[in-house]
Structure 1
C-alpha cells in the first residue's frame, strides 16, 4: 500500500511540476483562429496537449499497476506508460531550455525504446520473441550514452547529435518491434494474428507523425507541424494496449472507462461553461485544473487516513476468523465457534452481553455472556427475538438489542443477540459497519462449522463401516482357509493313508491290474490336498515349494520356467506365504492354459520393506479390460487374485501387449500384526 502511495505522489508531483513550470510560456492572447471559442480551444491544445496526453499515459499505467501489481506483463506495461508519459509531459518544457526539465525528458525519452522492447517480450505472447533481448539491451546502451552526453555536452556538435541519437533509438525500437511481431504472424491463430495486426498498425500511426516532426526540425531544420499538435496521434498507442489487455482478460479497462466517462463528460461541460460563459482565460483554466487535481489528491489522502483505522479493524476481524477456524475442534464445533464469535464481539465493542442461539433441530443456547447469563428477563426475550428474526435475513434492531441472523442457505438456523453498549450511547456508523462485517464472517464461520460437523459425522460412519467390512473380509478369508486346511488334513491323514496302506497290500498280492488306477487316485488326491492347502509351504518353506512347482511345470508341460528368489523366508509370515504360493500357481496355470506361453519368468524379492512378485510370460497377451469386466470369461482368475491382493492390503498391476507378453506385478506388505494371522 505504501509503495503505491509513494509511486502516486512521485508521478503526480512530476506531472504537476511540469504543468506549473510551463505556465509562464503559455500563449494567452494569441489569435490562432477568427472564432473566439475555437481560438480558446486551440490555445488550450497548444498549451496543454502534452500535459493531457502525458497524464493519459500515467493514469492508464498506474490503474493497471493498482489492479495487478504482481503480474510481469502489467509491471512492464506500467514501466512503459510511465517513461513515455513523463517524456511527453516534459517535451514542451524541455524546449524552453529549463535544465531540470531537459534532463528529465532526456532520461525518459532515452529509456522509452528499451521499455517498449521490454514490454513486447511478454506481449501479446510471453517469451515468443527470443531474439529481441539483444537489441533491447542495445537500446539501453544507446540510452545511457544519450543521458551521459546530455549531462556533459562538451561541444555544440554533441548537443546537435543528441536529438539524432534519440530519433534513431526510437526508430530502431519501433521497426524491430514491428518486424518481430510480424514474424509471429504465420505461427499463431487468427485471434493472435488480429492482435499482432492491431499492434503494428498502432505503432506506426502513433509514432510516425512525431518522428516526422522531430526529423524535420532536428535533422533538416525545416518548419513542421507544432510538436503540441503532432503528439496527439500518440494517444492511440495506450488506448490500443489497454484494449488488447482487456481482450486478453489481463486488466479490465472497460470497467475504468465506465467509471470515468461520467467524470470526463462533467469536466467537458464544466470547461465549456468556464470558457463560453465565464470567459476563463487559459491561465485561469490551468489554475482551475491544478487546483482541482490538488484537491483530489489531498482528499484521497485524508480519506485514506480516515478509513485506515476502520480498515485495520476489518483486517483484525479477518484474522480473528482464521484464528477461530484453527480453534474449532472435532468435539464441539458449534459451541466453540459461538464462544469465539462472542469473544470477538466483546473485543470490538463494549457491550453488556452477547447470546448466540441455535434453532436446529430445537432452540439451544450455544453461548451467552454478560446480562444474558444473569438476567431472567433477557433469557425470556430470547425466544421472542428468534421468532421475530425468522422472516428477516438482515440485522434487526429489536428493543434494546441488535439481532444478527445466522443463515444457512434459505433458512435461518440461529441468531446472535448483541446487547446494548455499556455506556448506553448510540451506535456510530463505523461501528455498524464493523457489526455488519462480523455478521457476514459469523455466517460463514457457522456454515463452515456445520459443514465440518456433517463431514466429521459422515467420516466417522464411513470409517466404522469400513472397519466392519475389513473385519468381515478378514474373518471370512480366515474361515475359508481354515476349512481348506481341515479338509486337506482329513484327506492327507485319513483317506490318503488308508489308500497307501491298501496300495502296499495290493503290491504284496501282485495285483497289477489294480495297482495303476489306485496309484493315479493317490496322485490326484495328493494334488487336490496341495491345491486346497499347500501343506508343503508350511513344512518346507516358500522357496523350496516354488522350486518344486518350477520342476513340476517343466516336466509336465515342457515349458522353461526361470526363477529369481531374493528374500529370506523368515521375513514372510506363514499365512502370507500360503496366499502367495496359491496366487503364483494360479498365474502360472493362466500362462499355460490361456496364453499358451513357452517361457515364464518368476521374480520374488524384497523392495523397500515390501514383498514384490512379478510373473512374465511370452504368450499371446490380451487387451487389458476395465475392472468391472474382469469377471467375464477367462479373466475370473485374475479378478480372484486381485480381490485377494486388496484384502491383503497390497497392489495388483497388469501389463500386456497383444501377441507379445503379459506381466503381472503383485506388491504385498511384510509387516503384519497378530490379528492378521489366520
Structure 2
C-alpha cells in the first residue's frame, strides 16, 4: 500500500505530467506484486495469478517510466528493448494461464526463467541509460542520477547484506525478508522526490561533507572487530549483531549532536546578526556624511556589546599617517602618541603585554597593505577568548576594514554607481526577462481560455446534444449550433496552443517537432523532413519553447512564401550549442545588408526571430538568393541548468 500511496501523492502533485502518470503505474504494479507475494506462496487464488501478471509486466512498466525520465530523448535501442520486454511479458503470462497453471514444472522451467530474464534485461537497459545520462548531461541531471543510484543502494543493500548473503553464503539465517524488505521503500520515495521537487539536494556535495565521518565509522568498526577478535571468541552471528548495534549507536549520537548543534550556535548566531545590523547602520552613517570618528565609535560599541573586554582602540592611517579615531576603557589612560608607538605594519594579529596587561592588535589590511588597527584589551574576567569569540572579532575586523577603506570615496562611488548601473544595464538580459514575462502571460491566457471559456463551450455543446436526443428543438437549428460550437472549440484550442506551446513541456522538443510536421503535412501539400540529434542532452524547457517557436515560424514562412514542396529541419547539439537549420528549395529572396531592412519587405517573422536569437545570446545566418531557395541557420548556447522537459507540466 505504501508504494501506491507514494504514486498517488506524486500524481496529485502533478496530475498532467506524463512521467508522473507512468510512475503511478510503476508504483501500482510494484506494490501489487509485493502485496501478493505472501498470499501467492500459500497458493491462494487468485493471488498467484495476479502476482504472475504483475511481475511479468513490471519490467515493461519500468522501462516505460525511464523512457520519459529524466528526459524523453532516448536512443533507439531502448525503445526496441522495451518492446522486447512487453513481448516476453505477454509470452510468459500466456504460457502460465494456458499450461503452467496446471503444471508446476512448466512454471519452474519456462515461466519463471522468462520472468527473471525479463527483469534482468530491463535493469541492464536502465543501467546503460543511467551511464549515458551521466556521460552526456548537465550537472543537474547527473546529480539526479547520483541521487537515484544512492536511493537504489539504500533500498536494496539491507536486503542483500542482512538477508540474502547470510542465507546463501554464511550458513546462518539472516534477518527475515519481511523486515529487510521495508528498506525498499527508499527507492520509490527518492523517485517521488525527484519528480515533485523543483530543486534537489546536491548529492556529491553531501557525500564530500560526510566522507570523513564515513571513514571514521569504518575505521572504528575495523578497530572494534580487531580488538574483539584478539580478546574474545565469538561467532559470525554475534559479530553482525554487535556491529549493527555499534552502527546504530553512531547514528543516534550523530542525530543527537546535530539536534543540539542549533541550540549551541544560537548565541553566536544572534551576535553575528547584531554585527550585520551594526555594519548596515555604520554604512548608513557614512552615506549620511558622518565622520570616521563617529563610525569608529559605533564599531567600538559593537565590540563591547559582542564581547566583554576592558577596552577598544581604533587607529586609522590617513595619508599613510596613523591617527587614533576612538578609544575606550583602559586605553583612555594612554595618550595618542604613546598608543601609536606600539603599532607596526603586520599582516597577522599579535598579542602584546603593556604594563602587565595583555592587548591584542588586529591589523586592517587591504591588498597586503596595513591601513589601520583594532586594539582590544583582555576580557574583564581575565579568561582567554573562546574560539567563537575570535571568529566574531575577525568578522568585525573584516567589516571595519571594508567600511573604512571605502569611506573616503563613498560619495563619489555612490554617484558613479548610479551612472554605471544605468550604462551597464544588460540589454540582452533585460529582453530575456521580458520575453520570459511574455511567455508567462501567454501561459496564463492559455490556461484561462482552456479552463474557463473552452469548458463552458463544451458544456453548452453537451447540453444541446441532450436536447437533440430529447427532440425538444429543431434538428437543423441544433446542428447549426453544434457546428458553430465545434468550430469555436477548435479555434480556441488552437489559440491556446498558439499562445503557449504546452506540447513542448508535455512531450519534449523532439516529439513536438514531429507533431508540427504531421500538422503541416496534413494541412498543406508539403513534405517536412526532420533531423533531430541532441546526443541525449536534455534541453532546458525554457529554451525548448523558444526553439519550437522559431522553427514553427520559419516552417510557416517557408510554406507561405517560398512555394517549396519540401522543407528540411535540423536540430543538432554540438559542444554545448544547439545548431538549428531550416532549409527550403523555393523562390528565395535577396537578403539585405541589415536585417532591420527586412521589415520593408514584409519579413517581420525573421525580425522577430532575430530578436529572440539575440536575447538568447545566439547567432542567426540567412542564406538566400532569388530562385535558389532559403537556408536559415541558428546557433544557441545551452544554458546547462538541466531542467527536465517533464519537470513542469500543464494540461493541454
Q: TM-score range by the shorter chain?
A: 0.3 to 0.5
Structure with the bigger RCO (C-alpha within 8 Å, sep 6+) is: 2
TM-score (ref. length: structure 2): 0.39
TM-score (ref. length: structure 1): 0.38
